[in-house]
Amino acid sequence: MDTSNAEKPPGPFAELKPFKVTQTEGNGSARSKESTLVDSARDTSPHSQTVEAQHEPKAPSSIHSHDAEPEPEYPTSWRLTLIVVGLCLSIFCMALDNTILATAIPKITDQFQSLGDVGWYGSSYLLTTCCLILAFGKLYTFYSTKWVYLMGLAIFEIGSLVCGVAPNSVALIIGRAIAGLGAAGVFSGAMIIISQTSPLKWRPFLTGSITSMYGIASVAGPLMGGAFTDHVSWRWCFYINLPIGGATIFFILLFFKAPKSVKSTQGLKDKLSQFDLPGTVVFLPGVICVLLALQWGGTTYEWGNGRIIALLVLFGVLIGIFIVLQMWGNEKATIPPRLIKNRNVWGAALFSFCVGGSFFVAVYYLPIWFQAIKGVSATKSGIMNLPMLLSVVIFSIVAGGLVSTFGYYTPFMLVSPVLIAVGGGLLSTMGVHSSAGHWIGYQIIFGMGAGLGMQQPMMVVQAALKIADVPSATAIVAFTQTLGGALFVSVAQNVFQNDLRKNLAQVSGIDPASVMQAGATMLRHVVSADQLPAVLEAYNGAVTTTFYVAVAMGALSIFGALPIEWISVKGKKIGPPAA
C-alpha cells in the first residue's frame, strides 16, 4: 500500500495519513483510488468510525476514484458563491412557479372561460415532474452534470415561455407540462452540483440555503402574482421565470466546471440499456394513474366510480410490474435494488415522503383557513402565512449551519417529526375566534419542524453512499418528496370536501352545494348574516381536519429517521463524483 502527501483532513483526524489503493476494474484497466483513513469508514456501521478501529483500513467500495488524476479541487470561494447564487435562483424560480399561479387563476379563467381546467393547471405540471425525476437521476449518473442541468433548466424556461404566450387554456396546460418536465431535473441537479463544488462539511449549510428558497418563494409568490395580475398581466407570472432562469444559466455556464467524465467503452446500445426503458414505460403511466385517481376521486367522480377503480387497479398492476423489472434489472434498473435496500436510502426516502406530504398540506390549507375564516384576500392570507414560511427558511439555514459545525444530521431528523406533529396538532385546534397569538405561534412550531428536517435526507445520501450512487439516490429523495406532497394534498382535499359537505348539511336554511361552489373568498356573499356563524364553524371544522393529515405524516416520518446511521460530515474529504 502506497502513501502520499495529500492534504490532511481537518479536525481531530489530522494525524491520519491518506492511503492509495490500486484496483482492477471489470474492463481490466487499473484505477487508482486515494482517500483518507476517515473515508474508509463511510460504508461501515457507526461503531467502525472511531479512530482506534482504523489502524488497518480496508479500501471500501465507497472511496471515490479518479483514474490516476490528482484529487479534484473545489472552486474558489467567489466562484462557489456565484454558483450557489445561481442554484438558489433556479430553485426560487421553480418554487415560485408553484405558488405564483394561485392568485392569477381567477384572471386566467375569466380570459379563457376555463373554470373546468383549473385543476389541470397544477396537475399537468405535477404529472411530468413526478414521472421524470428518476429518469433525470440516470442522466446525471451517466452524463455531464453541467449540461444535463442546463438542459432541464432550458426546458423549464421554454415551458414558462409557452405559458406566457398561451392563446388558450389548452396551450397553457401544455406549457405547464413542459415546465414540469424541466423542473424534474432542476432540484436534484442543484443538489448534485453542490456535492461537486463544496466539501462535505459545508454542504449542509449550502443545502439549507438552497432549500430555503421554497419558503421564500411561498412568501413572494402570492404577493408577486397579485401585483402582476392587478397592475400588468397574469402572463408576467410566467415571463418572470425567463430573466431569473437566464441568470442561473449564465452563472452555471461561466463558473461551474463539472468534474471530468470517466471514459467509457460502452457503445450507444449499452448506454441506452442503462436507462431502463421497460421500467420507465410502466412506471410513468403507473404514477399518472394514481395521481389522476387522487385528483378526481371524491371530487369529479365518486370513489366507487368505475373510472377511479380502474385507475387504482391499473396503478397496482403497473407498479407491481415495475418492481419485478427493478429486481430483474439489477444495476441497470431505474432504482437499483442494492440502493433501495440500503437503510440510509430507504430511510431518507420515507422521511422525505412523509415530511413533504405534511408540509405541503399545511402550505395549501393554511391560506384557505385565513381566507375563509378570517375573511382576508389571497394576498393578505399569504402575509398571514409568513410565520410558518419564514420559520422554514430560517431553521433550514440554521440546521444547515449546525450540521456543518457539529457534524451530525440525524438529531435534526429525530426532532423534526416531533415539532411537525405538535405544530400540526395545534393548528388543528384553531377556531373561528382564534387570536393572532395562537395562529402565529402554531405556525412557528410547525415551520421549525419542517425547516430542521426537510433538507437532511439530501445530506444522508451524500454522506452515507458511494459517490457514484449520489445522483440516483438524490433523484429518489426528490421524487419521494414531490410524490408525498402530491398524494397527501389530494388526500387532504378529499378529507376537506367530505367533511365540509357533512358539516354544511347540518346547517339549516342553506344550500351546501352553493356554499362549496362559492369557494373560500366568496363565502360571505352566498349566505346571510344570520347563517354566517354556523357556516364559518362548518368551514373551520373541515379545514382544521386536514391538519390531521399533516400530523399523521409528520409523526410517521420518525420511522424514516430511525434507520439512518449516525455519520459525521466533519473531517471527511470526499471528492465530487465524475460527471
Q: Are residues 551 and 424 in the same domain?
A: yes
- Return the pLDDT at 243: 94
Q: Are residues 109 and 203 in the same domain?
A: yes
What does the radius of gyration of the chain's CA atoms come to, in whole angstroms? Answer: 25
- For residue 262, give every residue at least 6 positions away whose Cβ sits within 8 Å of its Cβ, in sequence order, or none: 67, 578
Q: Are residues 85 and 47 in the same domain?
A: no
Q: Are residues 562 and 467 in the same domain?
A: yes
Strand ranges in 38-130 using DSSP code E only, listed in sequence order: none
Instruction: Give a yes or no: residue 305 inside a domain.
Output: no
491-to-298, 419, 467, 495 alpha-carbon distances in Å: 10, 22, 36, 6
Q: What's the CATH number where 362 sits? A: 1.20.1250.20
Residue 257 identity: K
Q: Are residues 520 and 468 in the same domain?
A: yes
Instruction: Give a yes or no: residue 133 inside a domain.
Output: yes
User: Residue 242 has which C-alpha cell?
Assistant: 425567463
- For residue 304, give every residue at least 6 positions away whose Cβ sits within 8 Å of its Cβ, in sequence order, or none: none
Q: Are residues 374 and 469 in the same domain?
A: yes
- Return the pLDDT at 272: 66
User: Residue 414 has which C-alpha cell?
Assistant: 429525530
Instruction: Give a yes or no: residue 250 inside a domain.
Output: yes
Instruction: Give a yes or no: residue 254 inside a domain.
Output: yes
- For residue 306, give every residue at least 6 positions away whose Cβ sits within 8 Å of its Cβ, in sequence order, or none: none
Q: Are residues 460 and 562 in the same domain?
A: yes
Instruction: Give a yes or no: residue 191 inside a domain.
Output: yes
Count the domains in the chain.
Answer: 3
Q: Are residues 399 and 518 in the same domain?
A: yes
Domain region containing 116? 72-260
CB 542 within 8 A of CB 500: yes
Rounded distance, CA 367 to CA 378, Å? 7
Instruction: Give a yes or no: residue 553 inside a domain.
Output: yes
Q: Are residues 519 and 490 in the same domain?
A: yes
> 441497470: which residue's cell?
332
Q: Are residues 38 and 103 in the same domain?
A: no
**Reduced to 3 states, what is the DSSP secondary structure of residue 31?**
strand
**Where among 200, 229, 260 does a domain terminate?**
260
Q: Are residues 368 and 242 in the same domain?
A: no
Instruction: Give a yes or no: residue 287 inside a domain.
Output: no
Single out the residue of 425, 417, 481, 477 nearest to residue 448, CA to CA.
Answer: 417
Quote the distance between the C-alpha of residue 334 and its chain's center. Answer: 19
- Return the pLDDT at 269: 65
**Where among 239, 260, 281 does a domain terminate?**
260
Residue 524 burial (CB < 10 Å; 0-12/13-18/19+)? middle
**Where among 207, 231, 260 does a domain terminate?**
260
Rounded distance, CA 73 to CA 576, Å? 9
**Reduced to 3 states, what is the DSSP secondary structure of residue 509?**
coil
Instruction: Give a yes or no: residue 328 inside a domain.
Output: no
- Return the pLDDT at 466: 82
Quote the distance between the C-alpha of residue 174 and its chain's center. Answer: 23
pLDDT tens per residue across all 579 residues of the chain = 444 444 443 433 333 334 343 343 434 343 444 343 334 334 443 343 433 333 333 333 333 333 333 445 778 888 899 999 999 999 998 888 877 876 677 678 778 877 667 667 877 887 788 878 888 888 887 888 899 999 999 999 999 999 999 999 899 999 999 999 999 889 888 988 988 888 877 888 888 888 888 778 877 887 888 788 878 888 999 999 999 999 999 999 999 988 765 445 456 666 666 677 888 888 888 888 888 888 787 777 888 899 999 999 999 999 999 989 888 877 777 788 888 889 999 999 999 999 999 998 998 889 889 988 998 877 788 788 889 988 998 998 899 889 888 889 999 999 999 999 999 999 999 999 999 999 999 999 999 999 999 889 988 988 888 877 888 888 889 889 888 887 888 788 888 888 998 999 898 888 888 888 777 777 888 888 888 999 999 999 999 999 999 999 999 999 999 999 998 876 444 444 433
End-to-end CA distance of the chain: 28
The CA angle 71-571-415, to the nearest 5 degrees, is: 130
Give the predicted TM-score (pTM) of the model: 0.73
Rounded distance, CA 297 to CA 121, Å? 18
Single out the residue of 557, 58, 135, 567 nearest to residue 344, CA to CA.
Answer: 567
Q: Are residues 236 and 210 in the same domain?
A: yes
User: Residue 343 has which C-alpha cell?
Assistant: 437503510
Other Cβ atoms closer than 10 A to 17: 11
Torsion of CA 106, 111, 117, 121, to 10 degrees: -70
